[in-house]
Amino acid sequence: MQHKIIHLWSGPRNISTAFMYSFAQRNDTKVIDEPLYAHYLKVTDIDHPGKEEILKSQEQDGNNVMKAIAAYKGEKSVLFCKQMTHHLVYIDLSLIKNAINILLIRNPKQVLHSYAKVITQPQLSDIGIKQNYDLYHYLKENNLHCLVIDSNELLKNPEKLLSTICKDAGIEFQQAMLNWQSGPKKEDGVWAKYWYENVHRSTGFHPFQEKETKLPEHLEKIFLESKPFYDFLYSYSIKS
């Protein structure tokens, strides 16, 4: 059996969990929820909800985690890893050279508006867009696989973009990817109770809705810092 490893590199509050649930509906795919979260908390000592529980739930050496993923030879032919790009602290990026790497982006204004409801004083480094920008350049400079997807474009036409993603990954699109059961999932990390309330109410990708988002001054400053990175990546993203 030929195995494929897919890393979805995302920032927080960016439909990445819905993306993971979509792939979990496939009959040939095993999914993993944020395998580098404990590593990130350990090396940064940042304070997140449920920190001690997360640290106990996962291997804390991120490079060991990534080596195990790279060596995957499980029963399912596809291993899908939902990853947060800001978790890539002290990680050997050569460990993703044989993987399919999807960069999932979202307008940082929307990210900051949502993220600040849980982390009240987010910084640029918390939302992953600068790290996604850096990762894009690493992948391109090393001639490694890279596909950029904007979450709003995906929501506009989930079937079309998921079909494009599957074709790019060399796997067949499955109609089951468009829907799932509401509620918690066995694949959820232990942090789900702090972050996944909205996605647990979903049964598919929510239809795209254009919203006017206003940020307080301290978040507007971070948005202006992040916007050039987002605009650059968006220009290379697959459009609906």
pLDDT of residue 58: 97
| Token digits of residue 109 | 């204004």
pLDDT of residue 100: 97
**Bridge partners, residue 6, by sequence:** 80, 100
* Spatial distance between the Cα atoms of 216 and 209, rounded to a whole number of angstroms: 22
Q: How many CB atoms lie within 10 A of CB 86?
A: 24
CA distances from 205 to 21, 87, 93, 108, 132 (A): 10, 25, 30, 19, 23
Q: How many CB atoms lie within 10 A of CB 99?
A: 19
Domains of the chain: 4-235 (3.40.50.300)
pLDDT of residue 91: 98
* Positions of the chain with pLDDT under 70: none
pLDDT of residue 207: 84
* Spatial distance between the Cα atoms of 173 and 214, rounded to a whole number of angstroms: 37
pLDDT of residue 210: 74
Neighbour order of strands in the sheet with 100-105:
29-33, 78-84, 4-10, 100-105, 147-150
pLDDT of residue 212: 74
| Token digits of residue 195 | 């972050």
pLDDT of residue 122: 83
